[in-house]
Amino acid sequence: MKKRFISTAMPLALIVALLTLAVDAAAAQTDDGIQWFSYAEGRQRGETESKKVFLFFNSDWCRYCAQMEKETFRNPTVIAYVNRNFIPISVNSDKEQAIAAKYKVQGLPNTFFISETGDPIANRPGYIAPDEMLKILKFIGTDSYRSMSFKSFMEKGQ
């Protein structure tokens, strides 16, 4: 009887070990934060992978940029959604002035969304709190922006 107990316990232990590894891997994915790309690499990946681009303009001196990096971009739900559904690009407006000029960035922080084909979808200037960011990400990520306003999207309880 002990042999049967050991033989059934081994697969159970293996299952528990595999589940633990899967949970650890998922946690590590959000612990690493948003997987930012440079502008050139991110735009190329967006087109080759047919994914929307999440474009964040910032600078070293910008207080609200730092606040977004500390709060919004460390939120596990935001991290997971961005990494899964977008190609995230971070652009320092002071160091990459030509890119900021191309998008007519006048204030920081400034967040842009670009379609899979490279066309601009929308932008949102200013600080965005984690909960609001998640709503915006879902509005853009689910293509709801194509058929309704953000207000209508929110009224539907998204």
Cα 100 from chain centroid? 20
pTM of the model: 0.79
d(CA 40, CA 26): 28
pLDDT-derived band at 31 (thresholds 50, 70, 90) equals low
* Average pLDDT estimate for 24-28: 41
The per-residue pLDDT for range 141-156, each reduced to its tens digit, is 999 999 999 999 999 9
Cβ atoms < 10 Å from Cβ of 74: 15
The per-residue pLDDT for range 109-144, each reduced to its tens digit, is 999 999 999 999 999 999 999 999 999 999 999 999
HEC readout, the chain:
CHHHHHHHHHHHHHHHHHHHHHHHHHHHHHHCCCCCECHHHHHHHHHHCCCEEEEEEECCCCHHHHHHHHCHHHCHHHHHHHHHHEEEEEEECCCCHHHHHHCCCCCCCEEEEECCCCCEEEEEECCCCHHHHHHHHHHHHCCHHHCCCHHHHHHCCC
